[in-house]
């Protein structure tokens, strides 16, 4: 019976653990959505808010601020685009 208790315990821990992980993941996903409902996670690539040119997929930081906070510099108009796709 000891083995059964260990198996049941392990299943319970995995079940609760995955439930907690799912809740945390969903919270994180909601946090990465910008106020207009658009996705802004690590795979989000906005268009330039000024000239609507898609940002380069490979991000090359142009300044210290971009290195730490993310964001892009538009290649056609030079506009600074924040991580969430706003002009700054």
Distances (CA, A) of 26 to 15, 22, 39, 42: 17, 6, 13, 15
Interface with Zn ion (CB under 5 A), residue from 16, 56, 77, 87: 77
Interface with Zn ion (CB under 5 A), residue from 45, 59, 79, 86: 79
Name which of 40, 86, 81 is nearest 63 in CA terms. 81
Q: Which stretch binds Zn ion (CB under 5 A): 9-17, 18-26, 39-47, 67-75?
A: 67-75
Strands (E) across the chain are located at: 72-73, 80-81
- Closer to Zn ion at the Cβ: 40 or 73? 73
Q: Which residues of the chain form contacts with Zn ion (CB under 5 A)?
A: 48, 50-51, 53, 74, 77, 79
């Amino acid at each position: 019976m000891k083995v059964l208790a260990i198996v049941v315990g392990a299943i319970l821990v995995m079940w609760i653990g995955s439930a907690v992980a799912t809740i945390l993941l969903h919270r994180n996903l909601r946090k990465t959505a910008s106020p207009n409902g658009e996705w802004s996670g690590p795979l989000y690539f906005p268009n330039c808010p000024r000239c609507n040119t898609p940002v380069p997929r490979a991000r090359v930081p142009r300044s210290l601020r971009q290195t730490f906070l993310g964001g892009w510099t538009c290649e056609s108009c030079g506009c600074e685009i924040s991580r969430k796709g706003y002009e700054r």
